[in-house]
Each structure stands twice: as structure tokens, then as C-alpha cells.
Amino acid sequence: MINEVDTIAAISTALGEGAIGIVRVSGPDAITICNHIVRLVHHQSLSAVKSHTINYGKVVSNDLGQDIDEVMVSVMRAPKTFTREDVIEINCHGGNQAVKRILENLLDAGARLAEPGEFTKRAFLNGRIDLSQAEAVMDLIKAKSDRAMDLAMGQLSGRLSSKIKDLRQEMLQTLAQVEVTIDYPEYDDAEDISLTALSHTAKHIKERIAELLKQSRQGRIIRDGIKTAIIGRPNVGKSSLLNNLIQEEKAIVTEVAGTTRDTIEETITINGIPLELVDTAGIRETTDVVEQIGVARSRKALEEADLVLLLLNRSEPLSESDRALIAATADKKRLILLNKTDLTQQLDRVQLELLLVTTDQVIETSMLEQVGIDALEKSIMDLFMDGKIAERDATYISNVRHIDLLKKADKCLDEVLNACEQQVPVDLIQIDFTRAWDLLGEITGESVQDELLTQLFSQFCLGK
Ligand SMILES: Nc1nc2c(ncn2[C@@H]2O[C@H](COP(=O)(O)OP(=O)(O)OP(=O)(O)O)[C@@H](O)[C@H]2O)c(=O)[nH]1
Ligand SMILES: [Mg+2]
């Protein structure tokens, strides 16, 4: 299936100080190429060792025959390997030098430097994993939390793929049924039977797509985290909130209004869900040039946020800026925090409620006395995960590409249903139906174009 049957090599571990480093080689000449530079202690050569064994030896340079490093070499012969090709992994000492020199010598001996993601791409092209599993490999590498990792593992084990395959199978059966019916003219009502079958399946597939999409929002959150902007006028306690959440004096806190000039970003996890916090400069009208830039950045953070924590100072009456911010965040998912509850209340709750919508939750806090943090964390979970901690085995679709394809397939099926209602000729409806089938196939890579593959795999790390 692969036409570029050369042998590729890359450093598979992160560069930097570490106990071991791994250089990986895959392709038909992997063993021959490595034989040039590996001297084993207990065997003649790598060709002589059993598959799936790890062997002690040395790497020597091609030209000078000089020892480069003491190594353990894994030999894995095709097809039971990650790429389904012969794979050699050289485990050497960590740090930058050993891995680099070993790689250089492998390239001299005839290997080609792998492109990012090329090992995984080969695994896909050789049919070991499908596309959604390949993408899961990337998610696994980039996972920011335990939950994100569980999610990627679920996808890697083919949970999403098998659901999509079931859907496509069902659609294929319907298409086959339609073909047969149309081909037997003794049925007078062939068109009717076909229309009924197509619309019945289209409806069912649409229901299943809707379920998958419903879970997708949570999936994205588990994977990418919740972008959370802390917003409020100057001096209400935004930076104090950030420090409290991350349990570190990261942001400067003073009684001077306008202390925070630039946005400050930090990530924490709540029940396994990453929260990407952004502390912002207090939003107000100002003539100070630096502060103006800060305020513009605050507004940008507000725009990009999945969640806004809007802070108000309970010990002062509502101000014009507070009202403006309540209005500006109205279409956002938000929590209203009334801070400084350790001081006497000046803010009129009734007046405030009039400005809020029914879904708004108000939480009273005191950053000084660290009151209300637990309630805040609980509310965030309620808002994003329906209060539940993500179940391990639900099929969360977290990949934007998958969501997009599901939505497109859903639209095609809408057209199928419309056309069925209007009694459009069956062969025309079949086209949309088949298109939906193709779109679902792109998720698993059963119907997929070359450019897409190149683009997808180029997002991987080198050596994976
Ligand atoms: N009494 C009391 N003071 C607080 C509380 N939270 C914050 N403060 C004080 O309020 C002042 C401002 O706090 P910051 O956290 O710097 O406020 P900010 O919203 O980040 O202010 P800017 O960065 O200027 O926009 C500091 O003196 C804090 O110690 C609270 O709950 N109670
Ligand atoms: Mg601040």
C-alpha cells in the first residue's frame, strides 16, 4: 500500500536531560542500516537476533569506528510492530549528544530523517490503526490532564471508530436494499419502498449523530480545557482570585486600582478538567497608554473565553463600569462573584438581580479569608459537565475535524429527508445519502484524501 518504502529514522524522546533517549528506525532496511553502527555483545549482528528482543551492545560511528554510546537495541520484525514494518529502537543515554550522533550515523548509513508523524502515518497506511486512532495518538501525546488521557486512550482503542463503522454499515445495507429493489421492476412500488427505507435509516443515523455531538462539547473541554477569563473593574480582587485558585502568589496584588497591566495565564485542574485561567487588567476608561493596551487585552480575553468569572465588589455599590460589564458578558457562560464579603455590604442585591438573567449564578466570596472557592469550583463543574465527572467509557468526540464531519453528514441527511418528503427520484436522493456515508468515512479514514493526511500527520511530533 505504501509507495515510499524507504527506511526512516528519528529521535523519539524529547530533547533535553533525561536518563535515556530513544532513536527509532522503521522500514525494510531498518536492520541492515542499524547493523552498520551497532556492535552487539552476545550476537554476531542484529540480523541474528530473535524478533521482539532487546539486546545489549554499542553504537560505533560509521567512519572512524569510534564508540558513541552503550546501548540497548530492540529488534521488532514486521508485521507485529507499530508501523507494521521492521522497527529498531536504540535506547541510549539521555541528553542531546548521544541521540543526535546516533541519528546522524543512521542517516549516513542510508536512513532518511522521518517527517513529523511519519511513523504513525505508516501505521495508518499499513492498516494497523485507522485515522481517528492515529489522531488519538496525537491527543495522547498532548493530553493536559488524566481525563484527557483517558479520552484519547478510549479513542485509540477504537471506540469511536467502531461506532462510526456501525453507522456506515447500516447505511450501506440500506443502499444495497435500494439497489436491489430498483433492479427488480416487478415491484410496482419500488420507488416507495426505497424512499421509506432511505428516510427511515436517515432518521436513525441522525439520532445517533445527535448523541455523538451532544457528548462532543464535553469531549472538547476535557481535551482542551475551559478558557476562563477573570473579569471586573479595577481593584475588585481578580488577581487575588487567581492566586487563590492556583495557590501561589503569582499575580501582584495591591490596593492600587490598575495594578494588573497585562493578562496573566495559568492552568489548574478541577476534577480532572483543565481550567486555563486568565487574570486580566481591570476594565475601565483610562488615559494611561499602557493601561489602555491592558484593557484591550482584557476585552480580547473576554471575547475568547468559554467561561467568564465576573467579579463585583460587594462592599461598594454597583458602579457604571459594573453595569457595563454585566451587559457585555450577558451572552457568555458566566458566574457572578460578589467579593469582599468580609467587609460591610454596600451592594444592593435586589438591584443586581434586576440586571441578571435567570441562569446566572451568584457566588459570595472573600479572597482575603479564602471563602467561596469550593462553591466556585462546584459551580464550574455544574456548568460544564452537568455536575458529573466525565465517564471513562463514553465516546467523547473531542476532535474538531470529527465534529465538523458529523455536522456535515447530518446536513446531508437533512437533505435526504427533505427530498424523500418531496418524492424526488430515488437515484438523486441516493447521491446525498452516499455523500453522508462518505463524510462519516472520513472520520475513520476509509474515505480520505492525500492532502488531508499530509496535513494531519504534519501536526505530530517528530519521532512519532
Ligand atoms: N477585604 C478584602 N480585601 C480584598 C479581598 N480580595 C481582594 N482584596 C484586596 O483588594 C485589593 C485589590 O486586589 P487585587 O486582587 O489586586 O484586585 P484586582 O481586581 O486584581 O485589581 P486590578 O489588577 O487593579 O484590576 C488588594 O488590596 C486586596 O488585598 C477580599 O475578599 N476582602
Ligand atoms: Mg489585578
Q: Which domains does the chain have, with CATH numbers?
A: 8-129 (3.30.1360.120), 141-222+396-457 (1.20.120.430), 227-385 (3.40.50.300)
What's the rounded Cα separation, in Å, for the pair 2 and 83? Answer: 11
Q: Choose between 16 and 320: higher pLDDT.
A: 320
What's the rounded Cα separation, in Å, for the pair 283 and 294? Answer: 8
Backbone angle region of 445, left / alpha / beta, with phi > 0 → left and psi within -120 to 50 → alpha: left
CA of 175 to the centre of ligand 1 (A): 65
| % of residues, the chain, pLDDT over 90 | 62
Give ion ligand 2 contacts, CB < 5 A: 238-239, 259-260
What average pLDDT does this structure show over 420-425?
A: 92
The pLDDT of residue 2 is 43
Pocket of ligand 1 (CB under 6 A): 232, 234-240, 253-255, 257-260, 281-282, 339-340, 342-343, 366-368
What's the rounded Cα separation, in Å, for the pair 455 and 131? Answer: 12
Please give the number of the atom of ligand 1 that sits closest to the Cα of 260: 23
Cell 492566586 -> residue: 243
For strand 38-40 and strand 53-60, is the pairing parallel, antiparallel, or unpaired? antiparallel
The pLDDT of residue 4 is 56
CA of 338 to the centre of ligand 1 (A): 12
Q: Over the stretch 27-42, which tens digit does the pLDDT of each residue have?
A: 999 999 999 999 999 8
| % of residues, the chain, pLDDT over 70 | 95
CA of 280 to the centre of ligand 1 (A): 13
Does 204 score more than 90 pLDDT?
yes
**362 to 84, 310, 349: CA distances (angstroms):** 56, 10, 10
Q: Over the stretch 369-382, which tens digit does the pLDDT of each residue have?
A: 999 999 999 999 88
* Residue 389 pLDDT class (50, 70, 90 cuts): low
**372 to 26, 115, 336, 338, 365: CA distances (angstroms):** 55, 50, 12, 10, 5
DSSP state of 217: H
Question: Measuring from atom 7 of ligand 1, which residue has the nearest CA?
Answer: 237
Cβ neighbour number for residue 66 with a 10 Å cutoff: 10
CA of 310 to the centre of ligand 1 (A): 14
The pLDDT of residue 171 is 94
Q: Hey, which of 231, 310, 316, 367 would you mutate to test ligand 1's pocket, going by the most ligand atoms within 8 Å of its Cβ?
A: 367
Q: Over the stretch 226-235, which tens digit does the pLDDT of each residue have?
A: 999 999 999 9
Question: Measuring from atom 16 of ligand 1, which residue has the nearest CA?
Answer: 253
Does 317 score more than 90 pLDDT?
yes
Task: Say how many Å lie between the first and final Cα of the chain, rounded.
Answer: 20
What's the rounded Cα separation, in Å, for the pair 413 and 303? Answer: 34
What's the rounded Cα separation, in Å, for the pair 97 and 103? Answer: 10
What's the rounded Cα separation, in Å, for the pair 403 and 127? Answer: 23
Question: Measuring from atom 27 of ligand 1, which residue has the nearest CA?
Answer: 255
Quick check: 159 and 393 in contact, CB under 8 A? yes
HSE (CB half, 13 Å, CA atoms) of 261? 5
Question: Measuring from atom 24 of ligand 1, which residue has the nearest CA?
Answer: 258
DSSP state of 461: P
HSE (CB half, 13 Å, CA atoms) of 83? 28
Amino acid at 462: L
HSE (CB half, 13 Å, CA atoms) of 330? 11
* Residue 1 pLDDT class (50, 70, 90 cuts): very low
Q: Hey, which of 243, 252, 253, 364 would you mutate to test ligand 1's pocket, going by the most ligand atoms within 8 Å of its Cβ?
A: 253
